[in-house]
Amino acid sequence: MRRWKKIVTAIVVMLLAGILYGWYLYNKEPADTRQQAATVQIEASALVKTFLQNEAAANRQYVDKLIIVSGNISGAHLEADGHATLFLETGDPLAVVTCSFYNEEAATVKNIPVGSVVSIKGICTGILTDVILNKCSLVK
């Protein structure tokens, strides 16, 4: 009987530890990319070209990594909720680099004219029709 009590107690303790760890992960804030160093710096046209030539190799090299992309702004989209997105020219009429910014940077992004050359730091999430960068910030 004593052995069963130890087994049940161990199971309850492990279950409680798992629940507490899950709760911690659920409530954990995502890392702020503005304070981190980028691993790669690349031009927008070269980034899109790499993805179009060999998507699997580009995924291994860029996806889920913090990168700095440079290029000319071809457009911007600002939403009422403060979400800002910039589009970088790539030389390919069917593909651009789409950069979604932190809400705190919407005011800065709004003042950048189309055609300006910028460097943007963000996490690459891959290619759909466009190469997507999330959690972006302007590099000064």
- Spell out a b/e string for 22-51, using b for 16 or more CB atoms within 10 Å of the CB, else e: eeeeeeeeeeebeeeebeeebbbbebbbbb
pLDDT of res. 77: 86
Domain identity same for 134 and 67: yes
pLDDT of res. 83: 84
CATH number at residue 92: 2.40.50.140
CB distance 104 to 140 below 8 Å:
no
Q: Which domain holds residue 10?
A: 1-30
Q: What percent of the chain has pLDDT over 90?
A: 59
Per the structure, the count of domains in the chain is 2
Position 1 confidence tier, pLDDT thresholds 50, 70, 90: low
Q: In this predicted model, what pLDDT tens digit does every residue of 30-83 receive, in sequence order? A: 777 778 888 899 999 999 999 999 999 999 999 999 999 999 999 888 887 778
Domain identity same for 59 and 7: no
